[in-house]
Amino acid sequence: MDRDRFEDILSALRADGKRVTVAKRAVARVLVEQSDHLSAEEVTKAAQRYAADLSPSTVYRILEEMERLDLVVHAHVGHAATVYHLAGAVHGHLVCTNCGVTIEIPSRHFDALSADLLKSYDFRLDRHHVAIAGLCARCRES
Ligand SMILES: [Zn+2]
Ligand SMILES: [Zn+2]
Ligand SMILES: [Zn+2]
């Protein structure tokens, strides 16, 4: 585990006057260990290894708290799925509407679209928040 990253999260919570509970340590640990896009349920399941009595609603509140502190971001990648990960470099997501696979793509793919939307509609694109839907190569072949 990236110990520095883990400690940074705990420090940020303390700096905001928040108590660092066993539950928060467990959630922070999971987010650092699994640098992936995880649903609140997946975070809960993984975090229960470190805090057995952790409930989904507690995890949800912790994720929201971390999000308010800009430690965590969320994105929507499927019909109902909301996924969370540590805040970091901005990126986009592609999601296959058939098999559900999510592909992380570099932010630069949105540069031209972003500039165009700003110019034409005075609209600022949020590159990360919602995934672009389509069909992956595997699903198109079959
Ligand atoms: Zn959202
Ligand atoms: Zn993401
Ligand atoms: Zn697919």
Output the CATH code of domain 91-141: 3.30.1490.190
* Per-domain residue ranges of the chain: 3-81, 91-141
pLDDT for 142 equals: 85
CA 83 / ligand 1 centre spacing (Å) = 9
CA atoms of 132 and 142, how far apart (whole Å): 21
For residue 41, pLDDT beyond 90: yes
Q: Taking residues 64-68, report their average pLDDT.
A: 96
CA atoms of 121 and 126, how far apart (whole Å): 14
CA 75 / ligand 2 centre spacing (Å) = 6
Write down the pTM of the prediction. Answer: 0.85
Output the CATH code of domain 3-81: 1.10.10.10
Confidence tier at 35 by pLDDT (50, 70, 90): confident
- CA-to-CA separations, 49 to 39, 41, 53, 96, in angstroms, rounded: 16, 13, 9, 31
Which residues are registered as beta bridge partners of 134? 96
CA 14 / ligand 1 centre spacing (Å) = 26
CA 134 / ligand 3 centre spacing (Å) = 8
- Over the stretch 67-110, which tens digit does the pLDDT of each residue have? 999 999 999 988 778 999 999 888 999 999 999 888 999 999 99
CA 32 / ligand 3 centre spacing (Å) = 28
Question: Which percentage of the chain shows pLDDT scores above 90?
Answer: 87
Ligand nearest to the CA of 136: 3
Ligand nearest to the CA of 129: 1
Residues having C-beta closer than 5 Å to ion ligand 3: 96, 98-99, 136, 139
CA 131 / ligand 3 centre spacing (Å) = 14
Mean pLDDT of the chain: 94
